[in-house]
């Protein structure tokens, strides 16, 4: 199975959504595509940078599909050189994809881990 990442998901507070846009401007992103109606507490947009899809989710509070998983510790540390970031566990990612109406991505992760049981 090809494990090359094809996209990047970023979750921030509502108040930081514009900061993400500014952060990527110097990399000549494509037009920012705003997603409507993901969840009542989530606003999001996507764009491409050097052929890589970047999906940005801004969530209110600590109960959204992404921040909720971060709050309850369903994370793993991902290290690249000296840089460490928090990422969701694969099971939490499946649930977040489903909560944001991204069933095709949820199914890809399920195929990768070899099952369909996502009760976490």
Q: What is the 3-state secondary structure (H, E, C) of 14-50?
A: HHHHHHHHHHHHCCCCCCCEEEEEEECCEEEEEEEEC
Whole-number pLDDT of residue 32? 84
Query: Are 40 and 66 within 8 A, CB to CB?
Result: no
Q: What is the pLDDT along the chain (120 residues), one digit of tens a residue?
A: 565 667 788 878 777 888 888 888 888 888 888 876 666 777 788 899 888 888 888 877 777 767 776 667 787 888 877 777 777 888 888 888 888 788 998 998 898 888 555 444
Whole-number pLDDT of residue 118? 47
Whole-number pLDDT of residue 105? 86
Q: How many domains does the chain contain in total? A: 1
Q: Which domain holds residue 69?
A: 7-113
Whole-number pLDDT of residue 107? 92
Residue 16 domain-assigned (yes or no) = yes
What span, in angstroms and rounded, lies between the C-alpha atoms of 10 and 17? 10
Residue 33 domain-assigned (yes or no) = yes
Residue 47 domain-assigned (yes or no) = yes
Whole-number pLDDT of residue 4? 66
Residue 1 domain-assigned (yes or no) = no
């Amino acid at each position: 199975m090809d494990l090359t990442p094809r996209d990047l998901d970023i979750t921030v507070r509502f108040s930081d959504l514009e900061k993400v846009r500014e952060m990527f401007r110097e990399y000549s992103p494509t037009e920012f595509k705003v997603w409507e109606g993901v969840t009542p507490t989530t606003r999001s947009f996507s764009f491409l940078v050097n052929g890589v899809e970047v999906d940005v989710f801004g969530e209110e509070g600590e109960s959204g599909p992404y921040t909720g998983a971060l709050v309850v510790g369903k994370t793993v540390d991902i290290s690249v050189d000296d840089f460490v970031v928090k990422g969701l566990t694969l099971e939490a990612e499946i649930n977040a994809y489903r909560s944001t109406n991204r069933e095709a991505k949820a199914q890809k992760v399920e195929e990768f881990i070899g099952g369909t049981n996502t009760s976490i």
